[in-house]
Amino acid sequence: MEIREIRENKTEFMDLLLIGDEEETMINRCLDRSTLFVVYDSGKPVSLCAVIKIDSDTIEIKNLATFPEYQNKGYATKLLNFVFDKYKKAYNTVILGTGENEKTLNFYKKRGFIQTRRVKNFFTDNYSHPIFENGKQLVDMIYLKKIIKK
């Protein structure tokens, strides 16, 4: 397993980015400003994390995705830990927004994130079609944060 930092040709990873966010227009809003970290297994990209700098104190994870056949094998956790280690000297806080999906929320909470706020109707107001996860329509965006500075 290898993690590579991607700064150019980020659209080459659109199939993986679309697993984390179904709407390409939403991905393209921040892709140029993002740094991608991609996990390769046997030379194949299997998971990625897109990070943007918000301000001098905070970074935001805009996308964290793993191909379905590689899920539940620790790739996303390894990526998160890599991002925490990479940025902890320069930034205090990592934030992210996700849908109201218990499985996803529990994944982040197990890794030290706490819920900070809710943006009502984010998915229904900003997406061209209904977004479903685990059979439930996503409506509100749930924001989480984690302090990474030691």
User: Mean pLDDT over all residues of the chain?
Assistant: 92
Give the pLDDT band of residue 21 (cuts 50, 70, 90).
confident
Can you give the residue ranges of every domain in the chain?
Answer: 2-147
What pLDDT is attached to residue 119? 87
Give the pLDDT confidence of 69-97 residue by residue, as tens digits.
999 999 999 999 999 999 999 999 999 99
pLDDT value of position 134: 77
For residues 40 and 4, is the Cβ–Cβ distance under 8 A?
A: yes
pLDDT for res 65: 94
- Exposure pattern of 70-101 as b/e (b: 16+ CB <10 Å)? beeeebbebbbeebbebbeeebbbbbbbbbbb
Q: How many CB atoms lie within 10 A of CB 45?
A: 18
Question: pLDDT band at 150, cuts 50/70/90?
Answer: low
Over pLDDT 90: what percentage of the chain? 71
**Superfamily of the domain at 2-147:** Gcn5-related N-acetyltransferase (GNAT) (3.40.630.30)
Query: What are 45-62's pLDDT values in tens digits?
Result: 999 999 999 999 999 999
| pLDDT mean over 10-33 | 90
